Structure 1
Amino acid sequence: MIRILLFNLLICIPFILPAQIVQEDGSTRDESELYASTKQVNQFFRRFNGEEDQKGVRFYEGDKNFRETSLRKNYITLLFDRVNQSIPTEQKKSFINDVTAKQNPQFLDFHEEGWFAEVNAIFTRNGKEENVLLFFKIQEEGKGYEWVIDQVSSAHYQQYFEKNESEEKAFLHPMSHELDFMNLHKSLNKENAVDFTGDDFKADPLSIFLYEMASQQIQFKSVTGTKFHFFQCEGWYFQISEYNRKGYNSGWLISDLTPVQKEDIPQLKAFIYEAK
């Protein structure tokens, strides 16, 4: 809450001072700072869409400010991580102009496809910690929605699925069938059994992960970080990350932005899923 104090009664000059909030560590923080911070992912959606102002006041259909173009441009500008210098200013402007175009404005929809969560989690295996990336997507369930695991990425799994692409790689002789495949004992006992799979083989880390969880070979310990990837805006990909720091530019902010063609989206998603 902003308080108007009159420090000089003789000339009646008002000074606008923000209220102070005492933090757990004893420090103070301006209330206006908390308003400006995008503290929740849902809040990021509303501010991106022009459905909430910086003070957290909601706009609803019928309100003159609801999804108003000029306000949206201002709000989206504030949703970028300003410390990040890797996103060119002109690229930001191009993105904002695209998503706020009067002829074809683009909005984010929490319940639609085109965005997913990346959760960096720690699991333990035989007493040792191991990083696993879990990718979640929103799915309709009954009368509501739920997050479900869509992909898993782990360096531990990846090491077992790297095919030997050299000319000396192991293979099953084309006449193996005439020997009733008796030569399998020499082949499948090797560590490079993946070499005997077809060219269209694709590893399924999620199935392995679920099996290891069910058989208690790995145990969940903690989450170390979360980010969200968005493909809902035509022609663009962006990522949001959480920044816990002082100042107005904090909370959930756009940390990565790049133009992307529709046909290149599967390749970009594959790159994200395979990141370690």
Structure 2
Amino acid sequence: MRTLLFALLTILSFHVSVGQGLTDDMKDTEDQLRASTKQINQFFRRFNGEEDETGKRYYPTDKRYRDASLRRKYVPVLFDTQTSQIDGTSAKEFVKIITDKKSPAFLDFHTDDWFAEVSATFKYKGRSITGTLYMKLQPQGQGYEWIIQDVAFSQFNKWFDKVSGSDKQFLHPMSHELDFMTLRKALDKQKHAEQYTPDAYTPDYLSIFLYELNQGNLTFVSAKNTAFHFFAIDGYYFSITNFNRPGYNSGWLISSLVPLANEDQKQQMKDYIYRKD
């Protein structure tokens, strides 16, 4: 009898222990899910101080709406602290600037200078290629819509490898006296006719993309990765990336932060992102 009673108590104790462990694990998982910034809209709210640590929304009528102390506590949590190389001093200065009580800085989903970079897979004439679509919001009727602002394809780059130096061909400056008959030789079987264009010429890849898509040569397969680039905070550029991993530091987080001293540096950064450099 004593042996049976001991066994029953042991089994009961085991189940209580396991049950308590599961409860703790579930609570920890729930806390992680609440801490994770799962949506872009949520990132905006947390950056602006329109949501607390538990996910509770704040509205303009709430006392803590866009509260500076809340933002100073919350914005640092929006940085990727596991893989990014963001300088800690720069991050602290950034948080200090955007939470300044006299002139705080916020993000506006509809009007700010920000855009998406979408890496995608396509089929081009039967074979798989990758490309990048740059997406931006624009007003549409009573609301907004995402539009394709630009594209980048290595496949397109190969078509426009502009020749320079001694290998560059040219049309003789007296070609006009021959009614430009020299064009026949210049353009016959030419793979790089762009060498006859102005030095400042740059191909319009978006138009090429749309043409190939409309002709059925290019078909969309799937989107692979997305990043968002922000130039909305004066003097800074930052990007956010989705980190799908366990723990509290997950979801949409600031993955890079770069101080910008002037408009030239801002344009240089945009050219780099759009692969225009």
TM-score scaled by length of structure 1: 0.88
Counterpart in 1 of 2:30? 31
Counterpart position of 2:10: none
In the alignment, the residues of structure 2 paired with residue 111 and residue 182 of structure 1 have an alpha-carbon distance, to the nearest angstrom, of 54
Query: What residue ranges of structure 2 are gaps of 5+ in the alignment?
Result: 1-22
Secondary structure of the 1:274 match is: coil
Find the aligned partners of 1:34 and 1:127 in 2 and give their Cα distance: 41
Tell me the equivalent position of 1:55.
54
User: What corresponds to 1:272 in structure 2?
Assistant: 273
Give the conservation status (yes or no) of the 8 Å contact 1:160–1:194: no
The aligned residue for residue 16 of structure 2 is none
CA displacement at 1:275 relative to structure 2: 7.7
Q: Does 1:219 align with 2:219?
A: yes
Change in CA separation of 1:52 and 1:275 when aligned onto 2, cut-off 3 Å: farther
> Partner residue of 2:101?
102
Large movers: runs of 4+ above 3 Å: none
1:13: which partner in 2?
none
Aligned position for 1:168: 167
What CA distance in whole angstroms lies between the structure 2 residues aligned with 1:125 and 1:131? 9
Aligned-partner Cα distance in 2 for 1:220–1:96: 40
Report the 3-state secondary structure (helix = DSSP H, G, I; strand = E; otherwise coil) of the residue aligned with 2:269.
helix
Aligned to 2:196: 196
Amino acid at match of 1:268: M
Change beyond 3 A, Cα 1:151–1:85:
closer
Per-residue CA deviation, residues 142-189 of structure 1 (Å, 9 max, x unaligned), is: 000000000100001112223222133111111111111111122113
Partner residue in 1 for 2:155: 156
Report how many aligned residue pairs link the two structures: 253
Aligned-residue identity in percent: 47
> Is 1:72 the equivalent of 2:78?
no
Post-superposition Cα deviations, 1:24-56, rounded to whole Å, max 9, x if no partner, equal xxxxx6111100000000000000000001211
Counterpart residue number, 2:26: 20
Partner-residue secondary structure (3-state), 1:228: strand
Q: Deviations over 1:209-252 (max 9, x none)?
A: 00011000111001110010000000000000001100000000
Contact 1:227 1:240 in 2 (8 A): yes
The corresponding residue for 1:238 is 238
8 Å contact from structure 1 (residues 133, 153) kept in 2: yes
1:254 aligned onto 2:251: no
> Post-superposition shift, 1:119?
0.4
Q: Determine if contact 2:238/2:257 at 8 Å carries over to the other structure.
A: yes
SS in structure 2 at match of 1:120:
strand
Change (3 A) 1:275 1:76: farther
1:76-135 residue CA offsets vs partner (Å, 9 max, x unmatched)? 100000112411100100111111111211000000130000000100012211111000
Is residue 2:111 matched to residue 1:112? Answer: yes
Q: Distance in 2 between matches of 1:57 and 1:196?
A: 61
8 A Cα contact 1:18 1:31, kept in partner: no
Distance in 1, matches of 2:275 and 2:184, equals 32
Question: 2:84·2:255 contact (CA, 8 Å) conserved in 1?
Answer: no
Moved more, 66-75 or 142-151: 66-75
8 Å CA contact retained: 1:125, 1:219: yes
Structure 1 segments unaligned to the other structure (5+ residues) = 1-16, 22-28
Partners of 1:136 and 1:214 lie apart in 2 by 19
Between structure 1 and structure 2, the one with the greater Rg is 2
Q: Who is 1:88 aligned against?
A: 87
CA contact (8 A) 2:84 2:256 kept: no
In structure 1, what residue type is equivalent to 2:154? A
2:276 & 2:203 partners in 1: Cα distance?
A: 15
Q: Which has the higher strand share?
A: 1
Residues 201 and 85 of structure 1, relative CA distance in 2, 3 Å threshold: closer
RMSD of aligned Cα (Å): 1.6
